[in-house]
Structure 1
Amino acid sequence: MNVLVFGATNSTTSINQQLAKYAGSLIKGANVEALDLNDFEMPIYSPQREEALGQPKLAQQFYKKIGDADAIIISFAEHNGSYTAAYKNLFDWTSRIDMKVFQNKPMVMLATSPGPGGANSVLSSAVNSAPFFAAQVKASLSVPSFFDNFDMEKRVLINPELDKALNEAVGQLV
Structure 2
Amino acid sequence: MKILAFGASSSRQSINKALASYTANLVKDAEVTVLDLNDFDMPIFSEDTEKSVGVPSQAQAFIDAIAKTDAIVASFAEHNGSYSAAYKNVFDWASRIEKAVYQDKPIVLLSTSPGPGGASSVLAQAVNSMSFFKGNVVGSLSVPSFYEVMKDGDVVDTSVKQALTSLAGKL
Same fold (TM over 0.5): yes
Q: Partner of 1:96: helix, strand, or coil?
A: helix
What do residues 95-123 of structure 1 show as CA deviations (whole Å, max 9, x unaligned)? 00011000000000000000111000000
Shift of 1:54: 1.6
Aligned equivalent of 2:49: 49
CA deviation string 1:47-105 (max 9, x = no partner)? 01111122211000100001111000000000000000000000000000011000000
Distance 1:83 1:33 in 2: 22
**Matching residue of 1:93:** 93
Task: Give the residue type in structure 1 aligned to 2:68.
Answer: D
Distance in 1 between the 2:155 and 2:81 partners? 24
CA distance in structure 2 between the aligned counterparts of 1:25 and 1:107, rounded to whole angstroms: 14
Identity %: 53
Q: Provide Cα deviations, 1:121-149, integer angstroms capped at 9, x if missing partner.
A: 00000000000000000000010000111
2:159 partner letter: E
Counterpart secondary structure, 2:108: strand
The DSSP-based 3-state class of the residue aligned with 1:51 is helix
SS at match of 2:142: strand
| 1:40 aligned partner | 40
- In structure 1, the residue matched to 2:8 is 8
After superposition, residues 51-130 of structure 1 pair within 5 angstroms as 51-130=51-130
Unaligned runs of 5+ in 1: none
- Stretches (4+) displaced over 6 A: none
Question: SS of 1:109's equivalent?
Answer: strand
Match of 1:144 in 2: 144
Shift of 1:24: 1.1
Q: Is residue 24 from structure 1 mapped to residue 24 from structure 2 by the alignment?
A: yes
How many residues are matched? Answer: 171
Distance, in Å, in 1 between the alignment partners of 2:115 and 2:131 is 28
CA RMSD of aligned residues (A): 0.5
